[in-house]
Amino acid sequence: MSPRNPKAAPAGRRPAKAFAIAAPREAVAGVFAALGDPTRLKLVAVLCAGGAFSIAQLTAGTDISRQGVTKHLQVLAEAGVVSDTRQGRERLYQLEPARIEDAKRTLDAIGKQWEAALGRLKAFVES
């Protein structure tokens, strides 16, 4: 099983051309990177329970220091996964589901493309 030969691909001998995923790869890679830490994923899991949480509240769910949590939240905010608003003397963080949707669409595109490739391969083998 080596479909590496350009039988059905119009790409000639060139193996790897950039494939359009969904959103700009750079941006969505940032979302994945932001979710790629257990602590941050846990923070997101807490935040997706709804509402806005302060840093102290979010810290209470982890075993690292408040400043550590702050850094993680900044990473999430930079990736657009959460948004923050200052309210009084505390800063409230909230989930921003749009980027999560972007990431999900990217994963969906990967799955779809893979399935389509499997289908083509099967058709080729059966022909």
Partner DNA sequence: TCCTCAGGCAACCAAATGGTTGTGTTTCGC
Partner DNA sequence: GCGAAACACAACCATTTGGTTGCCTGAGGA
Backbone phi and psi for residue 73, each to the nearest 5 degrees, phi listed first? -65, -35
Rounded to 10 degrees, the C-alpha dihedral 8/10/11/16 comes to -50
SS3 23: coil
The minimum distance between CB 32 and a copy of itself, in angstroms, equals 4
The minimum distance between CB 74 and a copy of itself, in angstroms, equals 16
Alpha-carbon distance of 34 to 57, in angstroms, equals: 20
* Number of residues counted as binding DNA (CB under 7 A): 29
The minimum distance between CB 20 and a copy of itself, in angstroms, equals 8
Binding map of DNA across residues 12-51, x = CB under 7 A, - = no contact: x--------------------x--xx-x------------
